[in-house]
Amino acid sequence: MIRQGPVIDRDTVYRGPDEAGHVFLTFDDGPDPRFTPQILDILAQASAYATFFLVGKDAIRFPSLVRRIAQEGHEVANHTWSHCHPWTISSRVARQEVSCASAALSDILGRSPRYFRPPYGRLRRSMMDKARELGQTVVMWSLSAVDWGPWGGPARIARRLRSAKVGDIVLLHDACRGHNRPWETVRVLAGFLSELHYQNLIPSLFEKTTVGAEKAAMIPEGHADRAEELPKNARTFSSRSGQSES
By CB under 5 A, name the binding residues for Zn ion: 28-29, 119
Residues 63, 160: Cα–Cα separation, whole Å: 32
Q: How far is the CB of 152 from Zn ion (least distance, A)?
A: 14
The residue among 97 and 207 lying less far from Zn ion, judged by its C-beta, is 97
Measured at CB, which residue is nearest to Zn ion? 28
Give the residue ranges of DSSP H helices in 46-118: 56-59, 63-71, 91-109
Q: How far is the CB of 97 from Zn ion (least distance, A)?
A: 12
The residue among 98 and 218 lying less far from Zn ion, judged by its C-beta, is 98
Q: Which of 22, 28, 147, 174 is catalytic?
A: 28
The residue among 1 and 224 lying less far from Zn ion, judged by its C-beta, is 1
Q: How far is the CB of 119 from Zn ion (least distance, A)?
A: 5
Q: Which helix H or strand E contains 146, and what residues bound it?
A: none
Q: How far is the CB of 171 from Zn ion (least distance, A)?
A: 9
Q: How far is the CB of 36 from Zn ion (least distance, A)?
A: 14
The residue among 33 and 121 lying less far from Zn ion, judged by its C-beta, is 121
Q: Which helix H or strand E contains 71, and what residues bound it?
A: helix 63-71
Residue 28 designated active-site = yes
Per this entry, what is the length of the chain?
246
Q: Which of 74, 79, 83, 173 is catalytic?
A: 173
Residue among 201, 200, 218 at smallest CA distance from 209: 218
The residue among 31 and 119 lying less far from Zn ion, judged by its C-beta, is 119
What single-letter DSSP state applies at residue 122?
A: -
Q: Which residues, listed in sequence order, are joined to residue 51 by a DSSP beta bridge? A: 26, 75
Residues 188, 241: Cα–Cα separation, whole Å: 32
Q: Which residues, listed in sequence order, are joined to residue 75 by a DSSP beta bridge? A: 51
Residue among 52, 10, 2, 5 at smallest CA distance from 239: 10
Q: Which residues are catalytic?
A: 28, 173
